[in-house]
């Protein structure tokens, strides 16, 4: 069994990530056996390595400390057995971080992220079609969960795009200079990408306007044609996942990012919009300041001039104060965190309706990560959670220009920030479909920062570190370039 697992663990990981944006059942069919086998056959030897043990202590162990604090909260909470059973599931899935870390070290971080983007792109295409024709059956995840996933995936996709662009430029010649993506996308490529995004968004939003069926069909056909036209320019559709630089960048620009961006807009969820704007701003400030104005202009058009997006934003305050809205939910949460400083127990916010007649029965959490955590896990649990976040964000942004792969680690940091900003108005830490994507990306980041990530066929077999503007210094794989944060 151990030999079978070693042979197929990469396929299991990629299959789990592909299905995660589509159907959780199929994702679990790949992920649960993979993690169980990893625990039995790999976990002990994995933790024998001092460097891996140090990074495990940095990225994963704080989550177990958080769960330990939460168990204490559950003892004094509302339903200990419910909390304990949910914490067992959380403890199991936390081990997806080292599992994806090990797989990323074997098959490269790009493949891990690409598998996720492939499934997310298929789900986004379905969202566009469903937006144009709301009567279509819904096959995949709901809008709230998909938007939460897109808050992570869009930023991760942008990071892969920057990574491929950097490799076409300075990294190819043995340098990686800050803010110097020499071979940037052409104006034609960018215009084609923007046109595809606008057509897809218009098609997906057309169902909100009472547009005739023929008009919606033509608009959707035009949007899909724009994607097909872009695909025709790619030498081979299979190569982006296998390491072809031009194909990787072209498929991201032509298909993946326009579709993900359109789906994000169509779902009309304001929290993920804010998160993606913040994450995109971070990546742009670090790696492409010259694109700041065009991207800000495009975001303003999308958010302020496109209906019903504009109306959704303008009505934010009214929605906040509606009966059973966030104002009422947060009032209950503030009252509970004062009454229960140790917390009411993990996942016990499902009893929210018992504390107020205004709260509809379908609302089972506080629509805010920090508030939900302090209510369920107490103030100590909140402190551990914030400590964990700050620790991983610091690791993500350490030496952002040290190597081309550092772009991917920084993109993970920007995605985590996007996730948490969206979490100011949603409890996405409690959404397993979203949380597992965050854990997978953290595994990728840890593989890179620990110096264990496999160098892809796109890269040279060395990383290059600019030193005070002088000639770059070659560093072999696994050096201390990115692992200096290890405990």
pLDDT at 478: 37
pLDDT at 170: 47
pLDDT at 305: 72
Q: Are 485 and 58 in contact (CB under 8 A)?
A: yes
Neighbours of 129 (CB within 10 A): 16
- 254 CB-near residues (< 8 Å, 6+ apart): 189, 192, 193, 196, 227, 230, 231, 233, 234
From start to end of 53-113, where are the E strands? none
pLDDT at 476: 35
Digitized pLDDT (tens) for each residue of the chain, 487 residues in all: 778 888 889 999 999 999 999 999 999 999 999 999 999 998 888 888 888 889 998 999 999 999 999 988 888 777 888 888 889 999 999 999 999 999 998 888 999 999 999 999 999 999 998 888 887 777 788 888 999 999 999 999 999 998 888 776 544 444 444 444 444 566 777 788 888 888 898 888 887 776 677 888 888 888 888 888 777 766 544 444 444 666 788 888 889 999 999 999 999 899 999 999 999 999 999 987 777 887 788 777 777 777 778 788 888 787 777 877 788 889 888 998 888 888 888 888 877 777 777 777 777 788 899 999 999 999 999 999 999 999 999 999 988 888 888 999 999 999 999 999 999 999 999 899 999 999 999 999 999 998 877 666 555 433 333 333 333 333 333 333 343 443 3
One-character DSSP codes across 363-379:
--S-S-HHHHHHHHHHH
What's the rounded Cα separation, in Å, for the pair 183 and 170? 8
Token reading at 415: 């995605």
pLDDT at 461: 38
pLDDT at 484: 40
Q: Are 251 and 234 in contact (CB under 8 A)?
A: yes
User: Degrees (nearest 5) of the Cα angle 288, 294, 296?
Assistant: 95
Token reading at 254: 């032509």
Neighbours of 139 (CB within 10 A): 11
Domains of the chain, by residue range, sit at 2-181+265-290+311-318+366-475
Task: Give the helix/strand (H/E) hosting 475.
Answer: strand 473-475
pLDDT at 400: 86
Token reading at 333: 């949460």
Token reading at 303: 């958010």
One-character DSSP codes across 301-330:
HHHHTSTTHHHHHHTHHHHHTSTTSHHHHH
- What is the reported pTM? 0.87
pLDDT at 245: 64
The three-state secondary structure class of 173 is: helix
What's the rounded Cα separation, in Å, for the pair 285 and 104? 27
State the residue for tokens 């990115």: 482
In the chain, the N- to C-terminal Cα span, in Å, equals 34
């Amino acid at each position: 069994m151990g030999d079978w697992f070693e042979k197929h663990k990469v396929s299991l990981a990629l299959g789990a990530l592909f299905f995660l944006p589509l159907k959780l059942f199929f994702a679990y069919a790949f992920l649960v056996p993979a993690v169980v086998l990893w625990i039995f056959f790999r976990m002990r030897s994995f933790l024998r390595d001092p460097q891996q043990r140090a990074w495990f202590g940095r990225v994963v162990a704080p989550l177990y400390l958080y769960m330990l604090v939460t168990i204490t909260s559950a003892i004094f909470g509302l339903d200990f057995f419910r909390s304990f059973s949910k914490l067992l599931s959380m403890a199991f899935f936390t081990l997806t971080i080292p599992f994806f870390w090990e797989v990323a070290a074997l098959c490269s971080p790009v493949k891990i992220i690409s598998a996720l983007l492939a499934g997310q792109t298929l789900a986004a295409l379905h969202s566009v079609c469903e937006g144009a024709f709301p009567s279509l059956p819904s096959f995949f995840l709901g809008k709230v969960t998909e938007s939460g996933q897109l808050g992570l995936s869009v930023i991760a996709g942008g990071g892969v795009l920057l990574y491929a662009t950097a490799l076409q430029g300075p990294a190819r010649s043995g340098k990686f200079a800050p803010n110097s993506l020499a071979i940037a996308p052409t104006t034609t490529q960018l215009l084609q990408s923007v046109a595809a995004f606008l057509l897809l968004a218009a098609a997906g939003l057309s169902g909100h306007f009472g547009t005739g069926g023929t008009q919606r069909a033509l608009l959707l056909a035009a949007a899909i044609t724009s994607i097909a036209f872009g695909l025709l320019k790619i030498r081979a559709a299979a190569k982006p996942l296998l390491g072809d630089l031009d194909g990787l960048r072209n498929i991201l620009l032509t298909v993946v990012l326009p579709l993900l961006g359109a789906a994000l807009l169509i779902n009309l969820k304001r929290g993920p919009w804010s998160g993606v704007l913040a994450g995109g701003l971070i990546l742009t400030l670090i790696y492409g300041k010259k694109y700041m104005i065009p991207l800000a202009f495009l975001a303003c058009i999308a958010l302020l001039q496109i209906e019903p997006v504009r109306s959704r934003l303008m009505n934010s305050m009214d929605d906040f104060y509606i009966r059973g809205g966030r104002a009422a939910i947060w009032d209950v949460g503030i009252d509970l965190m004062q009454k229960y400083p140790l917390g009411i127990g993990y996942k016990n916010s499902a009893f929210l309706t018992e504390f107020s007649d205004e709260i509809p029965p379908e609302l089972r959490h506080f629509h805010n990560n920090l508030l939900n955590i302090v209510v369920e896990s107490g103030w100590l649990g909140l402190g551990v959670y914030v400590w964990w976040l700050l620790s991983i964000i610091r690791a993500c942004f350490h030496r952002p220009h040290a190597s081309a792969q550092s772009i991917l680690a920084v993109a993970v940091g920007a995605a985590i920030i996007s996730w948490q900003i969206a979490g100011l108005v949603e409890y996405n830490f409690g959404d397993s479909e979203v949380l597992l994507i965050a854990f997978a990306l953290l595994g990728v980041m840890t593989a890179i920062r620990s110096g264990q990530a496999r160098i892809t066929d796109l890269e040279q077999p060395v990383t290059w570190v600019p030193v005070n503007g002088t000639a770059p210094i070659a560093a072999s794989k696994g050096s201390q370039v990115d692992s200096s944060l290890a405990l």
